[in-house]
Structure 1
Amino acid sequence: MGYKLSGKSSAGNTILGREEFDLKRSAQCVRRHGEVADRHITVIEAPGWWINEPVAFSPELLKQEIVLSVSLCPPGPHAVLLIIPVETRFKDYLRKALQGHQDLLGERVWSHTIVLFTHGDSLLDTSIEQHIESEGQDLQRLLDKCGNRYHVLNNQNRSDHTQIEELLEKIEETVAQNNGCHFEIDRKILQRINNKRRAKERMQQERATLTGNSPQPPQNALHTSEYFG
């Protein structure tokens, strides 16, 4: 999860150790698999929002895709990685945008969230702890929301497998803190999205009937059937 150009695709490629995610922006969720450090890993990239865009201004389709992303690995992901580039000057509007979009998944998501700082090479000789302290209270408030869980990733140094192994260990620690449970979104949230999509499909079919055109397959029809049968 993260805003556009935050390094989500690059982070996914670094985790899997190969080019699996297209760096071009996508309006839909993307799911990829791989074997990493003797583990079978599923990585899902949710579409991003503009950095200064409050959740209230985000397109409805984007918000639906964010919610449905957690259903692409049933029964749910073990961790949600919230992507933040290290060089980003963290301000209150950014914190509110990040929290607002993350909150679409419900309050429980924060106990499964790890902040993943990308572009770790930008730190140079500065430690991540020094960087967090220098950014002030807005970044710390976000970290407090997810139990002060964070990790740094250098996408320019994919040969360093240690950084991925450490990330996987932190994910396993997060799972242990949640009593071995994955994150499962409230079914009521998913049902609301399902109802909205079905209503939109009906409107499209009615509009097509009135104009005498054959109804087009609804956008993301595959998603709807996959998630809800």
Structure 2
Amino acid sequence: RKMVLPHLKLVIVGAQWAARSSAGNIILGKHAFDVNENGNRRTTCCEINHGVFQDKRLTVVDSPGWFYNHTLQDTNEMDKLEIEKIIVSMCSPGPHVFLLLVPILRSFTEKDLKALVEIMKPLTERVWRHCMVVFTYGDWLEGLPVENYIVKEGKKLQELLEKCGNRYHVLNRCHFYDPVQVKELLQKIFDMVKQNREYFTIKGKQTMFQKQPLSEKEHTFTEEEWIRREQELIERVMRALAKEPEEPTAPSMKVANSKND
């Protein structure tokens, strides 16, 4: 039977400097997510935007990014909550794909791998069947095959790719309005969804959040709880920003005449 997917739901996951919001804008073909002059922005809570590409409805969710130079204990507990929030409320009944962003402008380290694995951990091992690596800052390749970068980055990046079924794609923000890179990405996502024959859900979570309506008191508590959690995250972000280095680590791959955007 031919599978029809009139509506694709994509969740973007990655650290700060991964250009998550820029990637979302490229996919939607418009400036839906706010970014700064360098194409980066610290997202403190999940944001959702919608668009249409060649008659296909797209929903893109940008999740909070974490800091490369801080421990997982310092940065990821609230991010885990936000990831679960995406599945349960923002992409119900579930997203079709998680796009794990890897910026080519910096080296991919063991710490980066551990951070991604830890962030996805609450979603169980099943989630990796629904994941794809997306390399951002494709302009840094200067026309070289991305496979060169993958080989030179070594074991940790290759381990991530293996967990994702060796599914990957490159986005080049210098070709923002080029529909080809988006068309190819969506085709890869479609092929993955066709193989999985389903979207991703957290077993048990849907039922838990879709029971009878909460009482007014419970609704108030839930809102206050989310406000408190988001405020804690913002305060943690502000403390981390004070320690954050101004420039990312240079990648191990040497690329001539790299663009500094």
Q: Which shifted more, 26-35 or 164-173? A: 26-35
Aligned partners of 1:116 and 1:151 also within 8 Å: yes
- Report the TM-score when normalising by structure 1: 0.80
Correspondence for 2:59 among 42, 66, 74: 42
Q: 1:170-203: per-residue Cα shift (whole Å, max 9, x none)?
A: 000110110x200112325995x9xxxx9xx99x
Aligned partners of 2:102 and 2:108 also within 8 Å: no
Q: Which runs of 5+ in 1 are unaligned?
A: 206-215, 222-229
- Give the drift of 1:54: 4.2
How far is 1:90 from its partner? 1.2
Match of 1:16 among 23, 28, 51: 28
Report % sequence identity: 40
- The one-letter code sitting in structure 2 at the alignment partner of 1:84 is V
Residue 107 of structure 1 corresponds to which residue in structure 2?
125
Cα distance in 2 for partners of 1:59, 1:148 equals: 25
From 119, 122, 141, the equivalent of 1:123 is: 141
Shift in CA distance, 92/189, structure 1 to aligned 2, threshold 3 Å: farther
Q: 2:98 aligns with which of 66, 80, 95?
A: 80
| Match of residue 220 from structure 1 | 226
1:99-149 Cα offsets, whole Å, 9 max, x none, are 111223221110000001001010013201111011111100010001000
Give the deviation of 1:70 after TM superposition.
2.2
Give the 3 Å change call, closer, same or farther, for CA 15–90 of structure 1 in structure 2. Answer: same
Where do 1:44-83 residues align within 5 Å? 44-58=61-75, 60-71=77-88, 72-83=90-101
Q: Which runs of 4+ in 1 moved over 4 A?
A: 188-191
SS of equivalent residue, structure 1 residue 75? coil
Unmatched segments (≥5 aa) in structure 2? 1-12, 36-40, 228-261
- Amino acid of the structure 2 residue aligned with 1:7: A
TM-score (norm 2): 0.71
CA distance in 2, matches of 1:91, 1:5: 14
Shift of 1:217: 5.2
Kept in 2: contact 1:54–1:96 (CA 8 A):
no
